[in-house]
């Protein structure tokens, strides 16, 4: 029997455990001291503690995860997302022990994990990119900004997950933020390298799901719109991306497939783009953002749209078995929307809200999926990401899917801590969201005024 070590926590650990169960694989979960009694640990055949609650001494240590895999006799390690999922060192340590990694090869992760390197790979694959330059110091940044034009984005070369990004609108902004951005990059990603990139104020964030066989064969599994973001963090995702012309969609899919083939990509990955249709051109302006060399948080959107299991396919590919995926997928029918429910108080600057969950009720019914690790009485820890769960709905069209999401949110309840359920209820009712096509800046522009008005009323 194939034995899998899940090198992650939270809802994605539960998701992988359940996929292993369906496949008949034995499953062990690597846990920190804070997660010994987690839902994933209880659902798995066993759990192995790899360190204390501090992720820097547990989940972020590839050598500890590799040691755990060896100690339990794992055949495959699934890294989930975040933590060590895109660290090539983990795959290398596992390869030395003859253990398969459910993800891309280490050399692929190195090629796409560094934003500058990923950009070079995209150019080599004839994928459209935005004007950008590496900037070694402040003087170089000013010179680059003069060539690229303001406004621009100052980004960490090794950043990810929407972190390590600063908007600079004028030279004075560069003076104020350059040293801060470099320090943040060193603290957050272990490297202070920065680059400057053209800023697209009216762009949407559209990504393409790919799955590679490692030999150049690539399945394109549609696209997702992830433009509803708060400070570069995704809040709502949907598929198919609304409002794309056939020419723009073809450009996105073809570009993603070319890059994945060029990389001889293995397993599930996402190629992210900015789409700017403000000029009315067809196809719209499309520029490469990055490759996420792992399963995405929002993968259920694609799974529900096409009726496929990307996590199971990852595990099967790593185990040397047929993935169960077709060579191509039909045109999708219907629409899927996902909302990320977090333990945060949206009305107070999205302040984290760890603590004891006294009761939790998630909606159920046709077309509804919930991926979560929360249960009644669960002590939501302060050490990790604030994600409580992902609420996913499918319906025959986009309007019906948003209506179904509004109803599902109304039937969800998490007691004991603050959550973003009421914020999400507000979000899916907004006319701009209902129309579709909001840009990545929309939520950051609209929400502060809404939250501020409520705070002012409460103080009156």
Q: What is the DSSP letter of 279?
A: T
**What distance lies between CA 108 and its chain's CA centroid?**
18
Q: Looking at the structure, do residues 177 and 284 belong to the same domain, yes or no? A: no
Instruction: Pick the closest to residue 302 from 217, 394, 381 (CA basis).
Output: 394
Strand bridging mode 46-51 / 132-135: unpaired
Residue 31 lies in a domain: yes
- The question of whether 294 is a catalytic residue gets the answer yes
Q: Looking at the structure, do residues 40 and 167 belong to the same domain, yes or no? A: no
Q: Looking at the structure, do residues 194 and 236 belong to the same domain, yes or no? A: no
Query: What is the pTM for the complete model shown?
Result: 0.94
Among 9, 204, 224, 294, the one annotated catalytic: 294
Structural element, H or E, at residue 292: strand 285-292
Instruction: Pick the closest to residue 415 from 348, 343, 347, 339 (CA basis).
Output: 343
The answer to whether residues 352 and 382 touch, using CB atoms and an 8 Å cutoff, is yes
Residue 51 lies in a domain: yes
Q: Looking at the structure, do residues 344 and 443 belong to the same domain, yes or no? A: yes
Structural element, H or E, at residue 180: helix 171-189
The answer to whether residues 226 and 299 touch, using CB atoms and an 8 Å cutoff, is no
Q: Looking at the structure, do residues 54 and 95 belong to the same domain, yes or no? A: yes
- The CATH number of the domain holding residue 61 is 3.40.50.20
Q: Looking at the structure, do residues 256 and 394 belong to the same domain, yes or no? A: yes
User: In the prediction, which pLDDT does 457 show?
Assistant: 62
Residue 364 lies in a domain: yes
User: In the prediction, which pLDDT does 155 show?
Assistant: 93
- Tokens standing for 25? 């694989």
At 270, is the secondary structure helix, strand, or coil? Answer: strand
Domain C-terminal end among 162, 180, 198 = 198
Q: Looking at the structure, do residues 157 and 298 belong to the same domain, yes or no? A: no
Domain C-terminal end among 179, 198, 217 = 198
> Number of C-alpha atoms within 13 angstroms, CB side, residue 260?
30
> Number of C-alpha atoms within 13 angstroms, CB side, residue 105?
12
CA distance 9 to 385: 10
CA distance 293 to 284: 26
Residue 450 lies in a domain: yes
User: In the prediction, which pLDDT does 297 show?
Assistant: 99
- The CATH number of the domain holding residue 148 is 3.30.1490.20
Q: Looking at the structure, do residues 189 and 54 belong to the same domain, yes or no? A: no
* Tally of structural domains, the chain: 3
The answer to whether residues 418 and 369 touch, using CB atoms and an 8 Å cutoff, is no
Residue 112 lies in a domain: no
User: In the prediction, which pLDDT does 458 show?
Assistant: 61
Neighbours of 37 (CB within 10 A): 11
- The CATH number of the domain holding residue 275 is 3.30.470.20
Provide the edge-to-edge strand list for the sheet that holds 3-6.
Answer: 46-51, 26-32, 3-6, 76-78, 100-101
Residue 74 lies in a domain: yes
Residue 119 lies in a domain: no
User: In the prediction, which pLDDT does 161 show?
Assistant: 67
Q: Looking at the structure, do residues 209 and 169 belong to the same domain, yes or no? A: no
Instruction: Pick the closest to residue 272 from 407, 115, 408, 98 (CA basis).
Output: 115
Q: Looking at the structure, do residues 164 and 215 belong to the same domain, yes or no? A: no
Positions of the chain with pLDDT under 50: none
Q: Looking at the structure, do residues 319 and 375 belong to the same domain, yes or no? A: yes
Domain C-terminal end among 168, 198, 228 = 198
- Tokens standing for 50? 């790899």
Residue 300 lies in a domain: yes
* Domain hosting residue 22, numbered range: 3-102
What is the Cα Rg of the chain in Å?
Answer: 21
Neighbours of 95 (CB within 10 A): 14
Q: Looking at the structure, do residues 285 and 261 belong to the same domain, yes or no? A: yes
């Amino acid at each position: 029997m194939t034995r899998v070590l899940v090198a992650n926590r939270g809802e994605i650990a539960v998701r992988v455990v359940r996929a292993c169960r369906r496949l008949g694989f034995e499953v062990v979960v690597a846990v920190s001291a804070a997660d010994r009694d987690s839902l994933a640990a209880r659902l798995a055949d066993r759990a192995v503690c790899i360190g204390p609650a501090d992720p820097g001494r547990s989940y972020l240590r590839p050598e500890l995860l590799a040691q755990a895999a060896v100690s339990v006799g794992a055949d495959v390690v699934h890294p989930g997302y975040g933590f060590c999922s895109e660290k090539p060192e983990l795959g290398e340590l596992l390869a030395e022990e003859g253990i398969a990694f459910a993800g891309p090869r280490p050399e692929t992760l190195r090629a796409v994990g560094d934003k500058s390197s990923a950009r070079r790979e995209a150019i080599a694959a004839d994928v459209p990119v935005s004007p950008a330059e590496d900037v070694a110091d402040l003087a170089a940044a000013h010179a680059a900004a003069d060539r690229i034009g303001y406004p621009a984005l100052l980004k960490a070369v090794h950043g990810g997950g929407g972190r390590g990004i600063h908007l600079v609108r004028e030279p004075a902004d560069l003076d104020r933020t350059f040293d801060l951005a470099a320090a943040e990059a060193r603290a957050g990603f272990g490297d202070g390298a920065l680059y400057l990139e053209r800023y697209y104020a009216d762009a949407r964030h559209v990504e393409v799901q790919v799955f590679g066989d490692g030999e150049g064969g690539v399945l394109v599994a549609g696209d997702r719109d992830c433009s509803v973001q708060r400070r570069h963090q995704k809040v709502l995702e949907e598929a198919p991306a609304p409002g794309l012309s056939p020419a723009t969609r073809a450009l996105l899919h073809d570009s993603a497939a070319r890059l994945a083939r060029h990389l001889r990509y293995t397993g599930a990955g996402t190629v992210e783009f900015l789409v700017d249709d403000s000029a009315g051109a067809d196809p719209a302006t499309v520029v490469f953002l990055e490759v996420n060399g792992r399963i995405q948080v929002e993968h259920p959107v694609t799974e529900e749209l096409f009726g496929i299991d990307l996590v199971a396919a990852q595990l099967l590919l790593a185990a040397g078995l047929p993935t169960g995926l077709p060579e191509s997928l039909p045109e999708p029918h219907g629409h899927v929307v996902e909302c990320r429910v977090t333990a945060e108080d949206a009305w107070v600057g999205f302040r984290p809200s760890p603590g004891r969950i006294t009761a939790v009720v998630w909606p159920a019914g046709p077309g509804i999926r919930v991926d979560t690790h929360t249960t009644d009485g669960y002590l939501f820890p302060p050490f990790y990401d604030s994600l409580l769960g992902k609420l996913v709905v499918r319906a025959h069209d986009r309007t019906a899917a948003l209506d179904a999401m509004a109803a599902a949110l109304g039937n969800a309840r998490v007691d004991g801590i603050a959550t973003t359920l009421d914020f999400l209820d507000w979000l899916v009712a907004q006319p701009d969201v209902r129309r579709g096509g909001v840009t990545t800046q929309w939520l950051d522009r609209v929400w502060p005024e809404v939250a501020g008005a409520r705070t002012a009323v409460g103080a009156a």
